[in-house]
Amino acid sequence: MLINIPFVNKKQPKETIGVPEDSTPEHIAIIMDGNGRWARNRGLPRIAGHKEGVSSIVKVVKAAVKCKVKILTLYAFSTENWKRPKSEVEFILRLPKQFLDVYLPELISNNVRIQVIGDMELLPDYTRDAVQYAMDRTRHNDGLQLNFALNYGSRHEILKAVKEMLADINDTKISVEELDEQQFSKYLYTKDMPDPDLMIRTGGEQRLSNFLLWQSAYSEFWYTDVLWPDFSEREFLLALDDYRQRNRRYGGLSK
């Protein structure tokens, strides 16, 4: 079965872009970049870009559900974002509540399960309460798992994992001889998830920005100049189609 959309990208020689369901990536991670530039290009305050970016989240979640993606992880707020102006930080951290107040019933009806990765303890109460409520309401859903990376930083995550692992070694819960990549992964926020198959970044930048450093060791990357508020189902399907054409060898040779 193919999911088709009309072709308008001159770089592609085909009339339609088709994504076979059986080759859709299991886990997609997205660095949602470009909100501030989108607003600046229109003479608007940066917060207008963050607000507009919510509509792209809705579009992408719907597209992921339609394409039968199992896990979608969105980089919503990093440990470095605290450096931004206080008013902007507060606006961003209120967006999860505004988003869930409007769209949680629709997410529930689409069998979406909401999770958070990151250090929730440092988030303000209004953010933490909103996402915890959403997690509780959707915990029994078994469709798309929607992860919001909030107050997330990969270096922080790895250091936290090392400290917890050393504590378990000292308490003789595990031995040094047991340690391997699979064992270490159990200490990460993503311990019960497969690594991302596809990493998407919008906004023209081509870097990871401290996002899923360990987990993306063998992820496929797809970059676009499209700013996040303008990112649509079409761009999402373009990324899936490009992923389908790649040969993932994991350091080995093609069969």
Annotated ligand binding at 33? The verdict is yes
- Which residues 6+ apart lie within 8 Å of 218 measured at CB? 195, 248, 250, 251
Q: Is 225 a catalytic residue?
A: no
Q: How far apart are CA 129 and CA 119, in angstroms?
A: 14
Indicate whether 178 pLDDT > 60: yes
Give the model's pLDDT for residue 80: 97
Catalytic residue, chosen from 4, 9, 22, 33, is 33
- 199-218 residue pLDDT tens: 999 999 999 999 999 999 99
52 or 7: which leads in pLDDT: 52
Q: What is the mean pLDDT of residues 148-156?
A: 98
Could you give the domains of the chain? 20-153+195-242 (3.40.1180.10)
Catalytic residue, chosen from 4, 9, 41, 81, is 81
Parallel/antiparallel/unpaired status of strands 2-6 and 113-117: unpaired
Give the model's pLDDT for residue 14: 43
Amino acid at 23: S
Q: What is the mean pLDDT of residues 8-32?
A: 65
- 12-21 residue pLDDT tens: 434 334 445 5
Indicate whether 164 pLDDT > 50: yes
Give the model's pLDDT for residue 1: 40
- 109-137 residue pLDDT tens: 999 999 999 999 999 999 999 999 999 99
Q: How far apart are CA 239 and CA 72, in angstroms?
A: 14
Task: Output the pTM of the full model.
Answer: 0.89
Annotated ligand binding at 228? The verdict is no
Annotated ligand binding at 252? The verdict is no
Give the model's pLDDT for residue 122: 93
Annotated ligand binding at 150? The verdict is no
**Token digits for 141?**
């859903």
Other beta carbons within 10 angstroms of residue 255's beta carbon come to: 5
Q: Is 81 a catalytic residue?
A: yes
